[in-house]
Structure 1
Amino acid sequence: MSAFAADPDYLTETRRLMAQAQAAFERGDLAGSADGFVLVARRHPAAVGGWVQAAAAGLRAGVVALALKAARRSVLLDPSAPAAAALLTAASTAEPLVSRHRATALWAILHPGKAEALGALASSYQDLGRAEQAERVARDALHADPYLDWVRVNLAVILRESGREGKAETELRRAVIAGPDGNLAWRRMAALAETLSKLERAGTAARRALVIDAQDHVSALFLSIVERRQGDLDGALHRLQALPEAMDGEAGRDAVEFELGTVLDRLGQYDEAWTRFERGNRIAVQRAPSGAADPRPFLSTLDAFAGAISDGWPARWARLPEASPPAVFMVGFPRSGTTLLDQILDAHPDARVIEEQPVLSSVGAGFIAAGKETLAERLAALDEDEADRLRAEYRAKLVRWAGDKSPRVVIDKMPLNIIYLPLALRLYPNAKVILSLRHPCDCCLSCFMQSIRLNSAMASFTSMEGAAGFYARVMALWQEIERVLSPDHITVRYEDLVADTEGVARRVVDFLGLDWTDAVLDHTAHAKARGMIRTPSFRQVSEPIYTRAVGRWSRYRDQMAPYLDTLAPYAGYFGYGDPRDIPRGED
């Protein structure tokens, strides 16, 4: 103990400062309270209690930097001090993921068996994308305290994202029992039920959440989606218009703007709908994590593969022993009808579609990252050993998603795998390719209208200019693939698929070498039985086939006019005619 700390007058002054800080807190001066507790802590720098109080006061005042510094000091002085590690975890929320995880892990290590610490650690693993560890630690937390409803809700999210929707529903029901007055479990139940197209259940859960908390704006958003899907467009519009401008967190204002745009589109108010979609995209870019709204990394990969098959490079490819393709590649441009075709083909008993999982794309990304030479040089020099290694890696990833007992035909469906086709055809020259097409203007418009989780591949869709330019680059690559590599492929146009589903399905089934079965025609029942569909089209494919999205772009012709010169060459190439000759459409 310092001489100052032992001095009665010094201690009296400390008590006075503590009383001042407490008084500031009680009258609502949180910043003044935080400054006061920091001053007390500095007068007794070796006393952990002062730094714990300062950290708590800093968090209450929203002064995160102060709270983080005080929490770190308290943990250094006494890692086992009550609340010290918990405060460090709370104060680290604005830190990079790895730093936050270290703080949370320290809390869990210092307090083994503490349910709240384990729950926080599970959430941290979840944020890092380490689902297996997240699930294991969440179960440990619930073993320590089965009534932590927020941990059970997070476990449900983990289960949902790994395709175990039934188990996720069970955990959400348990969470409701554990905390019947909490709206989080009801909100998550509404979200899950809506993605599974269980609309009555979704509406009931969302309304229950709103009974508990009328200001639960996210649940109100979910309820508006349910109302729109059930045909109550006016009710959905009224509910959306009542939501506040300031929304963030689980669903921000961007999600509201996109849903408003969707409802207004259905109501025929196209100019206002376009304005909403524009605003939604602007807000989405503002809310995106650092780098997520930057399309340049993905465009760089696209350009690298385009360069690898230009200038005569494929003529220099070293010969490789033939290998039987383990999968069919379904590619195209996003929002071109791949999910509808996926559901149709997956209903065939001898086919399984892997739905937009990082199989070919992860092999391709690893191949690009592994070498110092240009991609063109690496593809040309690819030898038998390296090819065998890449094929083994691809098969292992395929088995992970398709299972060991695969049917006769496995289809690796990921629209933008189109850019990785040069590598796929280098490894499997005889591979079959299904190319999904849709009118270029409808494709780009649909991407622009869609609320999606931004990453480099999706970032071009936040403006119509970006979407049109991206479409041109992707389809220019396909034209070069078609010209130079001559893949064994079939083209499926969305417009043909919705107009003559059986005729198109028969053609594709025959291309795959499968026998015909009428099961593929009941795609709606199959989609619902299959569980959660992990694409933005999940709402559409769980409905009977409709044609309202065909030619939608013409209703927005005035807004799309600046981009028609970019898209016209591809519309003509794929047989759609020149969009510049099409007048503005009406319902």
Structure 2
Amino acid sequence: MELNQALNHAVAAHQAGNLVAAERGYRQVLKAIPNQPVALNLLGLIAISQGKNARAVQLLQKAIVAKPDFADAFNHLGVAQRKLAQHERAVKSFSRAVALDPALTEAHNNLGNVHKDLLAFEAAAQCYQRAIALEGKNFEPHYNLGNVLRELERLEPARQSYRNALALNPNHIEARFNLAALLERSHDLPGAMEAVEEVLSRAPGMAGALVLKAKILRRGKQETEAAAVLEGVDAASLAPEDGVSVCFEMGRIYDALGRPEQAFAHFARGNQMQKSAASKEVMREARRFRQGIEETLEQLLPGIADNWQNIGASDRQDPVFLIGFPRSGTTLLDQVLDAHPLIQVMEERPVVPRLVKNLGSSGKPLPNDYAHLTGEEAELLRAEYFEQASRHLELKEGSLLVDKMPLNILYVPLIVRLFSDARFIFALRHPADVVLSNFMQLYRLNGAMANFLELESAADTYCAIMELWKKCRTALPVRVHTIRYEGLVTDLEEEVRPLLEFLDVDWSDAVLDPTGHARVRDGINTPSYEQVAEPVYLKSRYRWRQYRNELAPVLGRLEPWAERLGYSLNDGF
């Protein structure tokens, strides 16, 4: 049999799903011509399908050596590298594939996938959009675009992408579920209920859909009906992520029903399940997070700023930084401020943490090292800050930028060093309420949030971060205005007027309707999106008193901070 005929037979077997015959045929070709690029490429593709990704990389690299302009081989090489978690190499391979063949839809889509892995959501969205422009009736890039637009909190375009995907594949359950979840997140509860019922009609036992239905009922003040949806669900029998979601939603339902003992038990169980399922790397990050606080505390001595050389000021208006311990009311305050026509709030984007990461690679990650920052280095870091911010927010001329990231409290020394005119808004709330609220919150785990899986570690983290803030106030020239959550929900105008004066911004009645602003804002990048879309209410104020028995193990640790901050553990004030 001629080699071309043998290759054609192997390709036909491959297309028919007969991988054994296809592999045998490709090897027959390669025995005669060891560097035949098509056979190497397709044999590499079979290796990928078998999970032999390292072998696939070897075969595909040989194909590329034999044919350097082989776009398909670069595309398949990127797939194997991505499966091996070699993401940067995969980006190069996919990029080379689309450079060689700009019409290769699959490569654009694959490049989007690896950008998504790297959390480069903007770049991923652009890749998916190029794939759609090339092949508009391909389901996958529409679905993938919906996923990254959701991450970017562009909720309306994300909803449309899912609808486009479902028009091409009406039976795709995940696309239907994601659309239902987005409708709930957009506060369209009737639309969300209709969509989730459609999901459950197709997949009756889907745990995520049951949790979403219960959440919609709870948000609609139908707590008893919400509990009935989940009471028969055995969380322990589910995949860890689903089981955790069931526990937390049941906890919220029982909290809304005024049954704190049952609510706390569900939150505790959910946290324990999440801790058991957490990767070792996440738990190592949690330890490193605490160690980072301790190292910063050791260096924050009075007079530390006296050794800082003059590095000049920014040539732009310095941002305002909205900080505080998580769950201290920063999201409500975010909506208040963003409603003002002259203020733009950047919502929980890790712009400052990225600067710190870059400093770490240059050997200057801690306060003592900031003395050695040069004016040129500082200007580059400030430029990087605004460049990163512009990726998340269209910065308007004349607007005041408020960077809302509660845990930027960890980076106050760097912020003060880089932005000499920076102002801080510090959100404060009763320590027991804050610790309880974090314990009751289902977070996407990282090094910081993993510290809230247990009540004791949550309390210890609170004490450490508040000690850090106290030292920042003592050691650094911090310009700050403190906002108490309790005052914010009791008398919004009385609390906000002095804040706007601190920010040198004229009064606007628009700030008095944070709920209305939250409902029209395209996305709220925080777990608090539910609460801020509801009318300001007092239920969360001193909620800890309902959980006094459950909080007993940590109240002793929190009492000194409660007294220092003007609160009490006796009467809740």
TM-score range, shorter chain: 0.7 to 0.9
User: CA 1:462–1:292 in 2, change beyond 3 Å: closer, same or farther?
Assistant: same
User: CA 1:422–1:410 in 2, change beyond 3 Å: closer, same or farther?
Assistant: same
Q: Alignment partner for residue 96 of structure 1, among 69, 72, 85?
A: 85
Q: Alignment partner for residue 275 of structure 1, among 262, 265, 278?
A: 265
State the distance in 1 between where 2:512 and 2:555 align.
35
- Matched residues, number: 546
Q: Alignment partner for residue 378 of structure 2, among 382, 387, 407?
A: 387
Per-residue CA deviations over 1:494-519 (Å, capped at 9, x if unaligned) read: 11110111111112112212221211
Contact kept, 8 Å, 2:320 with 2:401, in 1: the verdict is yes
Map 1:181-196 onto structure 2 (within 5 A).
181-196=171-186
Map 1:118-129 onto structure 2 (within 5 A).
118-129=108-119
How many angstroms does 1:152 deviate by? 1.2
Counterpart in 2 of 1:436? 427
Map 1:490-569 onto structure 2 (within 5 A).
490-569=481-560
How many angstroms does 1:38 deviate by? 13
Query: Percent of counterpart pairs with the same letter?
Result: 33
User: CA 1:329–1:260 in 2, change beyond 3 Å: closer, same or farther?
Assistant: same
Contact kept, 8 Å, 1:447 with 1:461, in 2: the verdict is yes
State the distance in 1 between where 2:440 and 2:142 align.
34
Per-residue CA deviations over 1:183-207 (Å, capped at 9, x if unaligned) read: 2221111111111111111111111
Counterpart in 1 of 2:169? 179
How many angstroms does 1:146 deviate by? 3.0
Per-residue CA deviations over 1:430-477 (Å, capped at 9, x if unaligned) read: 422111001111111111111111111222111111111111111001
Counterpart in 1 of 2:361? 369
Contact kept, 8 Å, 2:237 with 2:243, in 1: the verdict is yes
Per-residue CA deviations over 1:197-232 (Å, capped at 9, x if unaligned) read: 111111111111122222332222222211111111
Structure 1 counterpart of 2:412, one-letter code = L
TM-score, length basis structure 1: 0.81
How many angstroms does 1:418 deviate by? 0.9
Quick check: 1:304 aligned with 2:295? yes
How many angstroms does 1:94 deviate by? 6.4
How many angstroms does 1:478 deviate by? 1.0
Contact kept, 8 Å, 1:433 with 1:490, in 2: the verdict is yes
Any idea what SS the aligned residue of 1:291 has? helix
Quick check: 1:338 aligned with 2:330? yes
State the distance in 2 between where 1:121 and 1:322 align.
39
Q: Alignment partner for residue 448 of structure 1, among 439, 449, 473?
A: 439
Structure 1 counterpart of 2:527, one-letter code = P
State the distance in 2 between where 1:466 and 1:561 align.
14
Any idea what SS the aligned residue of 2:124 has? helix
User: CA 1:72–1:490 in 2, change beyond 3 Å: closer, same or farther?
Assistant: closer
Structure 1 counterpart of 2:136, one-letter code = P
Map 1:91-490 onto structure 2 (within 5 A).
95-96=84-85, 98=87, 101=90, 105=94, 115=105, 118-244=108-234, 245-248=236-239, 251-293=241-283, 294-310=285-301, 312-321=303-312, 326-371=318-363, 375-490=366-481
Structure 2 counterpart of 1:179, one-letter code = N
Any idea what SS the aligned residue of 1:252 has? helix
How many angstroms does 1:111 deviate by? 9.4
Any idea what SS the aligned residue of 2:323 has? strand
Contact kept, 8 Å, 2:26 with 2:43, in 1: the verdict is no
Counterpart in 2 of 1:24? none
Contact kept, 8 Å, 2:47 with 2:53, in 1: the verdict is no
State the distance in 2 between where 1:117 and 1:402 align.
29
Per-residue CA deviations over 1:166-195 (Å, capped at 9, x if unaligned) read: 222221221121112222221111111111
How many angstroms does 1:532 deviate by? 0.9
Contact kept, 8 Å, 1:131 with 1:158, in 2: the verdict is yes
Structure 2 counterpart of 1:472, one-letter code = C
Contact kept, 8 Å, 1:317 with 1:379, in 2: the verdict is yes
State the distance in 1 between where 2:534 and 2:206 align.
28
State the distance in 2 between where 1:242 and 1:334 align.
33
How many angstroms does 1:112 deviate by? 8.0
State the distance in 2 between where 1:219 and 1:111 align.
41
Any idea what SS the aligned residue of 2:403 has? strand
Counterpart in 1 of 2:15? none
Deviates more, 1:413-422 or 1:161-170: 161-170
Contact kept, 8 Å, 1:472 with 1:567, in 2: the verdict is yes
Any idea what SS the aligned residue of 2:340 has? coil
Per-residue CA deviations over 1:38-73 (Å, capped at 9, x if unaligned) read: 999999896899x999997997xxxx76x5577668
User: CA 1:237–1:84 in 2, change beyond 3 Å: closer, same or farther?
Assistant: farther
For structure 2, the 5+ residue unaligned runs are 2-17, 32-37
Per-residue CA deviations over 1:324-372 (Å, capped at 9, x if unaligned) read: 7511111100000000011011111111111111233322332343226
Contact kept, 8 Å, 2:199 with 2:209, in 1: the verdict is yes
Structure 2 counterpart of 1:388, one-letter code = E
State the distance in 1 between where 2:388 and 2:562 align.
35
State the distance in 2 between where 1:572 and 1:515 align.
34
State the distance in 1 between where 2:421 and 2:226 align.
50
User: CA 1:411–1:112 in 2, change beyond 3 Å: closer, same or farther?
Assistant: closer
Contact kept, 8 Å, 2:54 with 2:84, in 1: the verdict is no
State the distance in 1 between where 2:131 and 2:198 align.
27
State the distance in 2 between where 1:513 and 1:124 align.
44
Contact kept, 8 Å, 2:143 with 2:162, in 1: the verdict is yes
How many angstroms does 1:114 deviate by? 5.9
For structure 1, the 5+ residue unaligned runs are 2-32
Contact kept, 8 Å, 1:261 with 1:273, in 2: the verdict is yes
Contact kept, 8 Å, 1:330 with 1:412, in 2: the verdict is yes
State the distance in 1 between where 2:370 and 2:63 align.
57
Deviates more, 1:498-507 or 1:484-493: 484-493
Deviates more, 1:305-314 or 1:331-340: 305-314
User: CA 1:68–1:362 in 2, change beyond 3 Å: closer, same or farther?
Assistant: closer
State the distance in 2 between where 1:382 and 1:104 align.
37
Counterpart in 2 of 1:7? none
How many angstroms does 1:415 deviate by? 0.7
RMSD: 3.9
Structure 2 counterpart of 1:175, one-letter code = A
Contact kept, 8 Å, 2:146 with 2:157, in 1: the verdict is yes
Counterpart in 2 of 1:14? none
State the distance in 1 between where 2:307 and 2:79 align.
57
Any idea what SS the aligned residue of 2:282 has? coil
